[in-house]
């Protein structure tokens, strides 16, 4: 092993020839990784799905190998502690891990109990826990939230609470495993600004696994690029990433051979199936989720809907497919009110791909999964087979037809869920964050599929958080804010002349490089340096 140059401080994290294999897998998820992360560094981890980003994150606090099992070669040392020789609980004092899913990492009854959980487990004095919890909650901007129930917080607040609950154990390394991917653009930006502030203030070492290159460019000191478990680059963002693309490139021409061509039998109903939303208002107990929304979507149109989490996008989708009955107004599909349609009529008109594929996969083969809808429609066997084959071809999963859907990776599971809705051959297709869980290449594939469907005369409406990506494919943009449509028009027009609306709706993330200004905390009363580093 080469010796460190004299002037460098001892590394915060050191990987030495680390290889790791999950139990039951023959593939190395991480392969011969050697690198050093310096104290106070902000390191981004990038790479396509399956490259090993998450495994790298989990190896930092000992979840790999202690919790996951499997085979580990080489070593990971955090502040000179070998993770193999220390329990996860032991490492928790030094390394905090924030996960992607906010709901899975909060389990206590109140914000206070959530944040105190770690300190209690470590057997800290109650008085000390209370003061470090108070400081941590203040540091993430959740002062006064002590008695709130975590499940009632917004996505961004939940992630901040997750951070606070780790900060309360005063770790020196914070690790984020795709922690912003379920947040909207504004939420992601706020979270990363907070992380930068905390990093500068407490000299934290920060490791962030992400797909968001704008975020990497703005904040990372160095970038770890992984591919199939191997380190392909570890350098500054300027050297690892190619020059930034223009912020919004409109109407991307179809790449050669990337856009699948569809052969779908002509169906007179489907061919003229548009959506007509008339003054729709939807309420949940205590809140108005969609407020006086009117819009018409026509066949052959691909519209994107953007807005903050909680701005009413998904609720609008639920109203379109009749899952939710508006308290006022109505939705018509191909001219008929949704509420008057029976199941078959509804399904022929509108298909809805929900965010989480795991909420619908249940069959023991991909083929059967995709056939479920057509069989329910009472189609004859040949037609069912035809549709399943076509749908699987469209999403490119023909070869996986006999595999178990639940054994596939996250992005392939999403594609199975998409195929299972495509097989219904509905006139209108609603896509709720269709690129979630995909890497860039996968996201583009999903968007190309949506374009093919549009070209085949379908009405496509997609909710998305990646405005840049949506702009490349959707010709129309609908912006929602607090339950209302605040802008609706050709994408180019909205991007060019309605910037202030986009900004107010929280869909423009402007990741800025951290400045000294960020070192100013929410409050002066923060951790002592000894406490953080000790």
Q: Which of residues 55-94 bind another protein (CB under 8 A)?
A: 58, 61, 63, 66-67, 87-90, 92-93
**Please, what is the minimum distance in Å from the beta carbon of residue 372 to another protein?**
6
Single residue of 25, 151, 298, 339 touching another protein by CB under 8 A? 151
Q: Does 206 bind another protein (CB under 8 A)?
A: no
Report how far residue 291's alpha carbon sits from residue 288's, in angstroms, rounded to the nearest whole number. Answer: 6
Q: Does 532 bind another protein (CB under 8 A)?
A: no
Q: Does 344 bind another protein (CB under 8 A)?
A: yes
Size of the site for another protein (CB under 8 A): 71
Single residue of 75, 309, 360, 482 touching another protein by CB under 8 A? 360
Single residue of 44, 51, 124, 223 touching another protein by CB under 8 A? 124
Tell me if residue 109 falls in helix, strand or coil: coil
Single residue of 29, 46, 116, 220 touching another protein by CB under 8 A? 116
Report how far residue 457's alpha carbon sits from residue 301's, in angstroms, rounded to the nearest whole number. Answer: 8
Q: What stretches of 5-98 show up as alpha helix (H) in DSSP?
A: 53-60, 88-91
Which range of residues in 35-43, 219-227, 417-425, 521-529 is near another protein by CB under 8 A?
Answer: 417-425
Report whether 266 contacts 440 (CB < 8 A). Answer: no
Report how far residue 357's alpha carbon sits from residue 446's, in angstroms, rounded to the nearest whole number. Answer: 14
Q: Does 101 bind another protein (CB under 8 A)?
A: yes
Report how far residue 414's alpha carbon sits from residue 409's, in angstroms, rounded to the nearest whole number. Answer: 9
Smallest CA-to-CA distance from 223 within 387, 46, 70 is with: 46
- Residue 81: is it exposed, middle or buried by C-beta count within 10 angstroms (0-12/13-18/19+)? middle
CB nearer another protein, residue 113 or residue 393: 113
Which range of residues in 20-28, 352-360, 455-463, 468-476 is near another protein by CB under 8 A?
Answer: 352-360
By DSSP bridging, strand 42-46 and strand 205-209 are: parallel
Q: Does 107 bind another protein (CB under 8 A)?
A: yes
CB nearer another protein, residue 19 or residue 360: 360
Single residue of 343, 510, 515, 531 touching another protein by CB under 8 A? 343
Q: Note if the bond before 459 is cis, omega within 30 degrees.
A: no
Q: Does 166 bind another protein (CB under 8 A)?
A: yes
Phi/psi at 77 (5° precision): -120, 130
Single residue of 35, 38, 122, 401 touching another protein by CB under 8 A? 122
Q: What stretches of 377-466 show up as alpha helix (H) in DSSP?
A: 381-395, 410-422, 440-455
Phi/psi at 215 (5° precision): -65, -45
CB nearer another protein, residue 265 or residue 323: 323
Q: Does 120 bind another protein (CB under 8 A)?
A: yes
Q: Does 486 bind another protein (CB under 8 A)?
A: no
Q: Does 337 bind another protein (CB under 8 A)?
A: no
Single residue of 25, 71, 85, 126 touching another protein by CB under 8 A? 126
Residue indicated by tokens 């934290």: 204
Which range of residues in 26-34, 98-106, 234-242, 276-284 is near another protein by CB under 8 A?
Answer: 98-106
Report how far residue 72's alpha carbon sits from residue 65's, in angstroms, rounded to the nearest whole number. Answer: 7
């Amino acid at each position: 092993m080469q010796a460190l140059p004299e002037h460098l401080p001892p590394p915060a994290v050191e990987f030495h020839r680390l290889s790791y294999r999950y139990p039951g897998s023959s593939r190395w998820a991480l392969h011969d990784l050697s690198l050093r992360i310096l104290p106070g560094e902000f390191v981004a981890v990038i790479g396509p799905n399956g490259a090993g980003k998450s495994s790298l994150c989990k190896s930092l606090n000992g979840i790999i190998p202690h919790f996951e099992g499997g085979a580990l070669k080489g070593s990971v040392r955090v502040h000179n502690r070998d993770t193999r020789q220390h329990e996860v609980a032991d490492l928790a004092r030094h390394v905090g891990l924030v996960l992607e899913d906010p709901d899975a990492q909060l389990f206590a009854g109140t914000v206070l109990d959530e944040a105190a959980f770690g300190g209690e487990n470590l057997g800290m004095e109650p008085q000390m826990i209370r003061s470090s919890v108070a400081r941590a909650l203040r540091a993430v901007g959740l002062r006064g939230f002590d008695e709130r129930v975590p499940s009632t917080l917004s996505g961004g607040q939940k992630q901040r609470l997750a951070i606070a609950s780790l900060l309360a154990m005063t770790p020196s390394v914070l690790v984020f495993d795709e922690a912003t991917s379920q947040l909207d653009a504004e939420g992601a930006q706020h979270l990363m600004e907070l992380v930068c502030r905390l990093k500068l203030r407490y000299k934290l070492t920060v490791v962030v696994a992400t797909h968001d290159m704008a975020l990497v460019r703005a904040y990372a000191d160095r970038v770890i690029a992984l591919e199939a478990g191997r380190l392909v680059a570890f350098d500054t963002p300027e050297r690892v990433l190619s020059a930034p693309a223009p912020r919004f490139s409109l109407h991307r021409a179809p790449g050669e051979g990337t856009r699948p061509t569809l052969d779908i039998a002509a169906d007179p109903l489907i061919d003229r199936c548009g959506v007509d939303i008339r003054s729709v208002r939807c309420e949940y107990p205590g809140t108005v989720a969609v407020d006086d929304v009117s819009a018409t979507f026509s066949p052959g149109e691909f519209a994107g809907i953007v807005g903050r989490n909680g701005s009413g996008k998904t609720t609008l989708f639920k109203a379109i497919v009749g899952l939710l009955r508006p308290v006022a107004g109505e939705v018509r599909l191909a001219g008929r009110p949704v509420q008057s349609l029976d199941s078959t009529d509804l399904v022929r008109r509108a298909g809805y791909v929900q965010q989480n594929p795991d909420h619908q996969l249940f069959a023991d083969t991909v083929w059967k999964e995709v056939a479920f809808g057509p069989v329910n429609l009472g189609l004859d066997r040949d037609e069912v087979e035809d549709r399943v084959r076509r749908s699987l071809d469209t999403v490119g999963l023909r070869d996986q037809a006999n595999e178990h859907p639940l054994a596939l990776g996250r992005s392939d599971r999403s594609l199975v869920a998409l195929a299972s809705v495509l097989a219904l051959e509905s006139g209108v297709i609603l896509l709720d964050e269709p690129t979630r869980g995909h890497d860039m290449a996968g996201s583009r594939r999903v968007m190309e599929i949506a374009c093919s469907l549009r070209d085949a005369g379908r009405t496509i409406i997609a909710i998305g958080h990646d405005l840049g990506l949506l702009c490349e494919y959707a010709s129309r943009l609908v912006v929602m804010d607090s339950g209302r449509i605040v802008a609706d028009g050709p994408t180019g027009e909205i991007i060019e002349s309605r910037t202030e609306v986009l900004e107010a709706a929280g869909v423009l993330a402007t990741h800025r490089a951290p400045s000294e200004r960020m070192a100013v905390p929410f409050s002066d009363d923060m951790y002592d340096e000894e406490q953080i580093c000790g």
